[in-house]
């Protein structure tokens, strides 16, 4: 039946679209007038429903008659803690409008314990779900100069968790450079090598929430015990503990316990330990006990191989010059690179067009506006003075009026934060000041934004404007 539907569909759309959206589908079951098809992801399902629902309906009705029904089965690649992908059935919109929460499969947990694995009496009998995502593994974490150290340290740890000097292993680097992927890969590999070991992946955010919850419910001790029986603890985005004294304290105790017992701790952060703010010194010094490995921005070659690998896995072909165009234009964030590829494929199949360089340009333009536009010090001064409704000359002037001084200090602060310019050169460009003035400005902004609510809002607003 599905074969026939496919050939009907194939006749009605471009080969590219067919290849992208229909070849990956598997027919899994046929009962009476209902056909179940398996799709690779939720995104995929939504795309089909949005763009091809009529085509599907027509083709199916031709085969199965008026009462034909289509059931989607989403392959759960992203199901944490499950080796074998399980599937969740979704009735098709052919029969009813599918609301998005009904198809919000990946966040739904099959195992109610998973949601709150912490309030568990008799902990020792409990199997802890690792929360690992098996689709983040070493095989698809491509190696390049930018990640060689972190990647091989990760592999060393995976071979001998707790048995290397890389304890903790701290992986740090900018947004979208692969920290989460690598952290999962290490965990997944440990599970392969040592199935009996208890591995737990958790984001620092969730760790914090659970800690707070445990305090509310009066079972802080259960919370601590839970973590103390883990063999490999992976905490993602540890910088989010900044400013959270209670959580830091409990993490400190857990960390010590695990470390003393030769258990492995793996952490990720978007900053190097020296740059982490509002994290207790005793924790920071623990972070430095093991190895801190940085993920850098991938070089051109690595970007090309990441793109090609992604295309290969999705079964899509793309001309070499477009691959290079993408690699040349999206440099700072692998997640954005992947996003651009997905929208490129999606656009081309939706509009029944081939993937051309023009299409690629259009997509890159509106995809990475923010990363394409280098933030210059001039631009920062302009945005800051607009924000405070003054002109740039006023901002640069010698006046000591408080709000002007603050604006100037904010401009200096963002120049330091968002450009590579030295303190001295920032000073020169913002009203001919010296480097000490700029340094003082940065410190003042830091201080004020932690003590003064209104000022913090300035910093947040401007940060958003400048990076948008």
The residues that touch ligand ADP, with contacts defined as CB under 6 A, are 140-142, 147, 173, 175-181, 306, 334-335, 338
From the list Mg ion, ligand ADP, none, which binds 235 (C-beta under 5 to 8 Å, kind-based)?
none
Choose between 179 and 408: whose C-beta lies nearer to ligand ADP: 179
Q: Sign of the C-alpha dihedral, residues 210, 213, 214, 215?
A: positive
Residue 171 · residue 267 · CB < 8 Å: yes
Q: Closer to ligand ADP by CB, 177 or 293: give it.
A: 177
Tell me whether residue 463 is annotated as binding.
no
CB 329 within 8 A of CB 373: no
Residue of minimal Cβ distance to ligand ADP: 178
CA dihedral angle for residue 417, residue 418, residue 423, residue 425, rounded to 10 degrees: -170
Stretch that binds Mg ion, among 83-91, 142-150, 172-180, 458-466 (CB under 5 A): 172-180
Q: Residues, the chain, total? A: 468
User: What residues contact residue 310 under an 8 Å CB cut-off, 6+ apart?
Assistant: 338, 341
- 176 assigned ligand-binding residue: yes
CB of 239 to ligand ADP, least distance (A): 12
- Which ranges of 261-299 would DSSP assign to H, the alpha helix? 281-287
Supply the minimum distance, in Å, between the C-beta of residue 463 and ligand ADP. Answer: 18
- If the CB atoms of residues 178 and 273 are measured against Mg ion, the closer one turns out to be 178
CA 372 to chain centre: 20
Residue 258 interaction partner, one of ligand ADP, Mg ion, none, beta carbon < 5-8 Å per kind: none
Beta bridge partners of 73: 38, 89
* Contact flag: residue 203 with Mg ion (CB under 5 A): no
CB of 287 to Mg ion, least distance (A): 17
Could you give the 3-state DSSP secondary structure of residue 29? Answer: strand
CB of 44 or CB of 413, closer to ligand ADP: 44
173 is in an annotated binding site: no
Which residue from 240, 147, 215, 225 is spatially nearest to 186, judged by alpha carbons? 147
| 267 or 344: CB nearest Mg ion | 267
Look up residue 27 and give its two tokens.
């027919």
Cβ closest to ligand ADP, residue 75 vs residue 433: 75
Residue 114 contact among Mg ion, ligand ADP, none, beta carbon within 5 to 8 Å by kind: none
Nearer to ligand ADP, 303 or 416 (CB): 303
Determine the 3-state secondary structure of 452 from DSSP.
coil
Its sign, for the CA torsion 50, 54, 59, 61, is positive
Question: Tell me, what DSSP letter sits at residue 431?
Answer: T
Shortest distance, position 100 Cβ to ligand ADP, whole Å: 22
The one-character DSSP state at 216 is H
- Distance of alpha carbon 458 from alpha carbon 119, whole angstroms: 41
Q: Which does 181 bind (CB under 5 to 8 A by kind): Mg ion, ligand ADP, none?
A: ligand ADP
User: Is 263 part of any known ligand binding site?
Assistant: no
Stretch of residues binding Mg ion (CB under 5 A), selected from 54-62, 122-130, 177-185, 217-225: 177-185
Question: What's the min distance (Å) between Cβ of 146 and Mg ion?
Answer: 16
Beta-carbon contacts of 71 under 8 Å, excluding residues fewer than 6 positions away, are 29, 34, 35, 36, 37, 89, 90, 91, 92
Please spell the DSSP secondary structure of 237-268, one letter per residue.
-GGGGTT-HHHHHHHHHHHHHHHHTT-EEEEE
- The binder of 177, among Mg ion, ligand ADP, none, by C-beta within 5 to 8 A per type, is ligand ADP
- Minimum distance from residue 83 beta carbon to ligand ADP (Å): 19
In the complex, the smallest distance separating the C-beta of residue 177 from Mg ion, rounded to whole angstroms, is 9
Q: Using the rule CB under 5 A, which residue among 180, 203, 247, 302 binds Mg ion?
A: 180
DSSP letter string, 311-337: HHHHT----HHHHHHHHHH--S-HHHH
- Which residue lies nearer to ligand ADP by CB, 280 or 338? 338
The residues facing 27 across adjacent strands are 37
Known binding residues for ATP are 176, 178-180
Query: Which residues form the interface with Mg ion (CB under 5 A)?
Result: 179-180
Known binding residues are 176, 178-180
């Amino acid at each position: 039946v599905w074969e026939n539907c496919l050939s009907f569909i194939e006749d009605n759309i471009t080969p590219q679209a067919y290849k992208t959206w229909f070849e990956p589908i598997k027919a899994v079951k046929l009962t009476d007038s209902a056909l179940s098809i398996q799709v690779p992801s939720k995104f995929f399902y939504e795309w089909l429903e949005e763009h091809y629902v009529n085509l599907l309906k027509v083709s199916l009705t031709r085969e199965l008659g008026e009462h034909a029904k289509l059931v989607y089965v989403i392959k759960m690649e992203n199901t944490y803690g499950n080796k074998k992908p399980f599937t969740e059935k979704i009735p098709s919109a052919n029969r009813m409008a599918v609301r998005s929460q009904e198809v919000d499969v990946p966040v739904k947990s099959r195992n109610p314990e998973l949601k709150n694995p912490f309030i568990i009496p008799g902990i020792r009998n409990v199997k802890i779900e690792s929360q690992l995502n098996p689709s983040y593994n070493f095989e698809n974490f491509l190696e390049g100069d930018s990640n060689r150290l972190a990647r091989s340290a990760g592999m060393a740890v995976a071979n001998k968790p707790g048995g290397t000097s890389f304890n903790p292993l701290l992986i740090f680097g900018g947004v979208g450079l692969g920290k989460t992927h690598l952290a999962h890969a290490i965990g997944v590999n440990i599970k392969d090598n040592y199935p009996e070991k208890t591995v737990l992946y958790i984001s620092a955010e969730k760790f914090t929430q659970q800690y707070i919850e445990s305090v509310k419910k009066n079972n802080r001790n259960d919370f601590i015990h839970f973590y103390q029986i883990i063999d490999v603890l992976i905490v993602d985005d540890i910088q989010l503990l900044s400013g959270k004294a209670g959580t830091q304290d409990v993490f400190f105790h857990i960390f010590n316990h695990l470390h003393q017992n030769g258990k492995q701790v793996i952490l990720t952060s978007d900053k190097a330990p020296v740059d982490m703010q509002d994290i207790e010194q005793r924790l920071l010094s623990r972070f430095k006990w093991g190895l801190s490995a940085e993920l850098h921005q991938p070089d051109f070659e690595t970007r090309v191989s990441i793109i090609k690998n992604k295309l290969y896995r999705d079964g899509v072909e793309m001309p070499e010059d477009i691959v290079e165009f993408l690699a040349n234009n999206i440099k700072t964030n692998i997640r954005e690179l992947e996003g651009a590829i997905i929208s490129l494929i999606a656009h081309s199949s939706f509009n029944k067009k081939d993937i051309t360089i023009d299409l690629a340009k259009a997509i890159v333009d509106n995809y990475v506006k923010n990363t394409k536009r280098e933030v210059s010090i001039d631009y920062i001064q302009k945005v800051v003075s607009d924000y405070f409704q003054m002109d740039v000359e006023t901002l640069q002037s010698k006046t000591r009026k408080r709000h002007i001084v603050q604006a100037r200090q904010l401009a200096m602060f963002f120049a330091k934060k968002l450009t590579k310019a030295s303190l001295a050169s920032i000073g020169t460009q913002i009203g001919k000041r010296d480097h000490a003035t700029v340094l003082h400005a940065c410190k003042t902004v830091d201080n004020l934004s932690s003590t003064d609510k209104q000022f913090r809002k300035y910093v947040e607003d401007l940060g958003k404007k400048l990076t948008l």
